[in-house]
Structure 1
Amino acid sequence: MTDEQMAPRPLDPVDREIVRLLQKDGRASIRSVAEEVHVSRANAYTRINRLIADGVIRGFSARIDHERAGQGASAYITLKIVQDSWRSVREQLEQLPGATHLALVSGDFDVLLLVHTVDNRALRELVLTRIQSIPGVLSTRTLLVFEETDLDPTDQ
């Protein structure tokens, strides 16, 4: 069964708290998580591994300041694609340098892609030569990001 086919699993309050803590600090130790949710280290370890195995936790990553990392141009790119081409288009988009978020959506366009590049010239090159040449892509529209703020998932 693929990740897309896995049935959702209800989380109990302890699992929800573990997820919240790891969203806030993915580098938190098992010991600190266990203390925070008032379970043994073995229980916390088992729960975290189960959350990973069940696909609830998909991985751990750092939040990046793209501008400070030398990626000064960010953009949301909307794409209209040929019907039934999502899987093949997605595979190509996932390979793009600087692509950080990809979603199949409803509305006036089909796909929303977030990319970060060194500058506008690199962004232009990415859109005009890479994205628009992908089979199944009918059209694109680029929305430049002037300022962005990461929302803290623990505040929600």
Structure 2
Amino acid sequence: MKRGDMAPEQMAETAQDALPPPARPLDAIDQDILRILQADGRASIRSVAERVHVSRANAYARINRLVEDGVIRGFGARVDHERAGHSTSAYITLKIVQNTWRTVREQLRQLPGASHIALVGGDFDVLLLVHTPDNRTLRELVLTRLQAIPEVLSTRTLLVFEEEDLEPDA
């Protein structure tokens, strides 16, 4: 495969796991590249270059810089969770013991169906988004797995009735 035909996700796989350098300012072309890749992460370098009116080498270098700087964190598929067999979604709020965020975060990462974890300010400390096959599995996740974490003081489950992905469509 020619370098100009390489998909951006193939470039991301080669990026190092080290902490990224401070982000450099993004110009209009960088912003256009991000918009294109958000809509279609499988777009080839050639396609991106043509759409933003730069050479393939320039597009390749810009995408590589965006990956190295940590602006682009990776490439993946946007999944319809219901069609993938996870028809129950919920946001779960957690109150945790002070100064245990890193420990709790590592345990939450291991939960089946966990898709987003955020440390937040307000009436609770952590917001967790999970997708499970059904309510019974969700109940087991909350009552058996989450509440067994010693640093979790309390939970509140908010069942999602309907959701919409606001990221650009392909």
* Pairwise same-fold verdict (TM > 0.5): yes
Residue in 1 aligned with 2:5? none
Q: Structure 1 residue aligned with 2:79, among 42, 64, 69?
A: 64
Aligned counterparts, 1:1-156, within 5 A = 2=19, 6-153=21-168
Q: Which whole-Å CA distance do the structure 2 matches of 1:8 and 1:110 have between them?
A: 28
Residue identity over aligned pairs, in percent, reads: 76
Normalised TM-score (structure 2) = 0.85
Q: Gapped runs of 5+ residues in structure 1?
A: none
Instruction: Give 4+ residue runs of structure 1 displaced > 4 Å after superposition.
Output: none
Once the 2 structures are TM-superposed, how far is the Cα of residue 31 of structure 1 from its aligned partner?
0.5
Report the residue type matching 1:2 in the other structure.
L
1:7-35 deviation per Cα after TM superposition (whole angstroms, max 9, x unaligned): 33321111111111100110111011001
Structure 2: gaps spanning 5 or more residues: 1-17
Q: Distance in 2 between matches of 1:118 and 1:90?
A: 23
Cα drift, residue 153 of structure 1? 3.7
TM-score (norm 1): 0.93
Letter in 2 for 1:38: H
